[in-house]
Amino acid sequence: MIERLVHWSRVKSPWVLHLNAGGGCNGCDIEILAALMPRFDLERFGVQLKGTPRHADVMICTGAITLQNRDRVLRIYEQVPDPKFVVAAGACAMAGCVYRGSYHTLVGIDQLLPVNAYVPGCPFRPAALIDAVVKLLNSVK
């Protein structure tokens, strides 16, 4: 009974951590914020942006991981309670974008963390992020 309640609340109201992995241009970060603003309003799906990883269910990662930020990203991932989901948002998080081949970035988030959903685009539109979150929630159901 309680398990079902927990599952229901997790699907109905996932809490989201926005993590900038470093090697991006912050265009995606701004689009994530724009997705939460009145026009796109991601919050109508129960999604709430949280400041700390310990409260989050879903990690939205933007940017390619820089080497200096690598261990911090791992630590933040470990702090998110199970079950956790990772969304790689934007071209940098997927495959490195223009920074591919740089001496200080990894090519994509999936080199370090298991990724559940990818959002393509440089940067993606807020609508694409909403689509990804809804698809992720449907797959969890």
Q: How far is the CB of 110 from another protein (least distance, A)?
A: 18
Interface stretch with another protein, choices 7-15, 50-58, 81-89, 108-116 (CB under 8 A): 50-58
Interface stretch with another protein, choices 8-16, 81-89, 119-127, 132-140 (CB under 8 A): 119-127
Pick one of 6, 7, 30, 81: the residue that binds another protein (CB under 8 A): 30
Interface map 79-118 toward another protein (x if CB under 8 A):
------------------xxx-xxxxx-------------
User: How far apart (Å, rounded) are the C-alpha atoms in residues 130 and 53?
Assistant: 20
Residue 34 binds another protein (CB under 8 A): yes
